[in-house]
Amino acid sequence: MGGEQSKPAAEAKLPDLGAERFQKYNFPFENIVMEGGGAKGIAYIGAVKVLEDAGIMKNIKRFAGTSAGAITAGFLAAGMTAQDVLEVMNKTDMPKVLLDGRYWLVKHVGALYDLLNNFGVYRGSSFLDWYGDTLREHFEKKSAESEELKQKYKALTGDINFGQLYEALGVEFCTVAYNTQVKRENYFHVKTSPLLYMREAVRMSMSIPVVFQPYKVEDKETAAHWIDGGVCANFPVYCFDGWWLSMDEGNCFHERLGEKQDRDTVRRAFLPAYSHERFTPGGDDGEKKAKRMKTLGMLLYSEGDPELYQNQFDARVRNFTDQNQELKKDSIKPDTEKRRAYDENSRKMEALEKEKRENLMKSLAMKTKLDEVKKWFPDEDSMRDCFDDRMTKEDVQIITADVDSDLSDEEEYEKARKKAFDSLFINFKGDLTKGTTENIFDNWAPMTMAASDCLKSSFIRTPGELYTTYLDFVGKSKPIREDDVDRCVGIDVDYIGTGDFDMSPEDKTFLMMQGAIATVAFLEEFIKKNGLKPEK
């Protein structure tokens, strides 16, 4: 201690995978869309770093995202680099920003009041201020770099709306939020909401129900409440495909929805069953494919929160890391508190699942014995005699779900045996039946066995963890289609959860590396699949 100086706090670091080698290829990407995912969205920063090194980001003119994806997409639309975003995240206490810095008394008493009276625990005002201040500071910094940039950014002061962003920088930004008043999602964009402030749009898009209060643009009783876009469109990878957000003159709303159109055509644009038509590209198959391939999507998944087509994303990364062993996930995972807690949780669940599977296998082993019992149907006495002869004490314990019971006493054993037989062969009316055992062994047991092979379980220890599972569920609304895989970067976030905003710098570095690896793997596969040739 004495005269020693305290070490500076560690900070997360951007990965460098030498993606400059991709600059010699002409990729088609002009749009980028990011899925919502809470704290897991840190991974996007590493992905963007690769896109910058590859020379792709300079071609992106349309940015979109939902919830956490909207936060990053908005920063990128404003011209921030991966390093700019990381510096902001490194110096920001995100739990404090997101939770309005509420402590003990306010946290417990005020939060309950707000939940009951204002529809959410946290007001989101700190986030609203933070996001707006971050954009303003960025624009001021860019304006000071040169006279040319000063002229370009001079109009971007104070609150920035979609129209100003488009006029000054020539880029389009889109976020999604759900309007509880008309019960539909809304795609905020310069075309649909030119005067809406960026910070307000992002605040709407991350208004997780119950956690955050719905956002109201106007302080009126009749004003719409806006909640998290993740409940309806957590990954709007399709948003730039069709005419709805197209800035082409022929696609303006006056032409598409105005007096020239009949009411049925207009209504179809808003009815949920037909609203997908707004985002379907026109033209022949080749034109449709070319239109869709202008968009690069980014999504997040893990073993505990699987994504559709996850095996294809995993295989893509594996093909890359097999050639770069030092980048394999197990080689770069840090030894942090969150990783250790996740591993311990996984070990416990594996032990429980193993025990559950062993008991299930024992149950399945009884099928032959029970088939012999069923042969005597409908002679109940003969069925009971056969059951008593064939079934062991362990069988009876498994059937009655009482493996810890002591059946050494003959009278207790007889009661347990009768209970086991009745549970399998006597229905709720008291009648003899074979249906229960047939359903167990033909349906329930095979389904349970298959589920244990495919699904990963996890502990729910706190209300926050329970709510996170709900967020992960609704976040998979409008899942990607198979033909989206070839235009999406799938990022494996492993042990990091949606609500892990208090992660360490090492955790953040790992997430960004995962984002970078997934992006390089995607680019390499894209080159091979599409036959891209290096340009001179």
Active site residues per annotation: 67, 228
**CA 499 – CA 160 distance, rounded (Å):** 28
**Cα dist from 449 to 369, 396, 403, whole Å:** 20, 21, 20
**CA 396 – CA 253 distance, rounded (Å):** 70
Q: What is the DSSP letter of 21?
A: G
Helices (H), ranges, 334-462: 337-365, 367-374, 380-390, 393-399, 410-425, 435-439, 445-454
Residue pair 279/239 in contact by the 8 Å Cβ criterion: yes
- Say whether 379 sits in a helix, a strand or coil: coil
259 φ, ψ (degrees, to nearest 5): -65, -20
Pick from 9, 159, 15: nearest CA to 508: 15
**Cα dist from 323 to 14, 310, 317, 318, 409, whole Å:** 22, 21, 10, 9, 64
Residue 407: count other Cβ atoms within 10 Å of its Cβ: 18
Residue pair 65/31 in contact by the 8 Å Cβ criterion: no
- Say whether 298 sits in a helix, a strand or coil: strand
Give me 319's structure tokens: 């093909």
**CA 104 – CA 123 distance, rounded (Å):** 16
- Say whether 75 sits in a helix, a strand or coil: helix
Task: Compute, in degrees rounded to 10, the torsion defined by CA atoms 217, 38, 79, 77.
Answer: -50
- Say whether 186 sits in a helix, a strand or coil: strand
> What is 467-491 written as a DSSP string?
HHHHHHHHTTSSPPPGGGGGGEEEE
Q: What is the DSSP letter of 278?
A: G
**CA 386 – CA 362 distance, rounded (Å):** 19
> What is 306-334 written as a DSSP string?
--TTHHHHHHHHHHHHTT-GGGSHHHH--
Q: What is the DSSP letter of 108?
A: I
**CA 176 – CA 235 distance, rounded (Å):** 9
**CA 187 – CA 269 distance, rounded (Å):** 13
> Tokens 């469109």, residue?
233
**CA 455 – CA 435 distance, rounded (Å):** 28
**CA 516 – CA 529 distance, rounded (Å):** 20
DSSP bridge partners of 300: 491
